[in-house]
Amino acid sequence: QAFHDSLTGLPNRNGFNERITEAIGRARRHGKSGALLFLDLDRFKLINDSLGHDAGDQLLRVTASRIQKCLRETDLAFRLSGDEFTVILEDLDRVECAALAARRMLAATASPVSLGDCEVIVNMSIGITTFSGNESDVEALVKEADSAMYCAKEIGHNQYVFYTQEMNTVASERLTMETDLQRALQHGEFLLHYQPKIDTASKVLVSVEALLRWNHPKKGIVPPNDFIPLLEDTGQIHAVGEW
């Protein structure tokens, strides 16, 4: 019970921490490469909010089962928390093997899932980092895969991305913006721009569209595409919507 997730039956975070250390040790001893994959369901919160937590739990169980069916006997899948999963791939002959595994998982999880009276399709974003056994800092390896996963979400969801050094900068900027957003509503930094809608025949103004903008104290006006997804990911979208 201490090492397994009761909902999906997969090993949990405790099991993951133990196994990733062992996997790195085996890679070092046998001269083989491995890969760590971070998987996160896209827009999972929408399922929970609209269909309820029972539907969300059912989706997590289905997802866990589909992930496992894509793996070899030597591979391991874990549920860390919420809708976040990890996969450890060992004994890889080449880096492309990790990409092949990621594509299999994306295809498997893209199939419709029946949740009560509804049928939904929820895609995943996957971040990948590789290891050769020389890594001494497991936490750094985990951050690499996590950064790559967030990059996959940023560029459009339902895809996989390999970690690069530049992602550390992107992850740091995202964290800073998330922190700034938590204070934005309290400090009155949001504002509305009104876009008129005009009847072209009568030239009469018939309505206006209210568009949210963020007046950052240092960056100035931040485009909505840069912060609306962060509001959704951090759960602040409802409070800002009410405002």
Active site amino acids:
83
Phi/psi of residue 153, each to 5°?
A: -65, -40
Q: What is the DSSP string of 25-43?
A: HHHHHHT-EEEEEEEEETT
- CA angle (187, 188, 190) in 5-degree steps: 125
The three-state DSSP-derived secondary structure of 206-242 is EEEEEEEEEEECCCEEECHHHHHHHHHHCCCHHHHHH
Q: Are 42 and 153 spatial neighbours (Cβ–Cβ below 8 Å)?
A: yes
> CA-CA distances (angstroms) from residue 83 to 69, 80, 117?
18, 8, 22
Q: Which amino acid is at 63?
A: T
Angle in degrees, 0-180, between the axes of helices 53-69 and 96-109, rounded to the nearest 10: 140
> How far is the C-alpha of 180 from the C-alpha of 86, rounded, in Å?
29
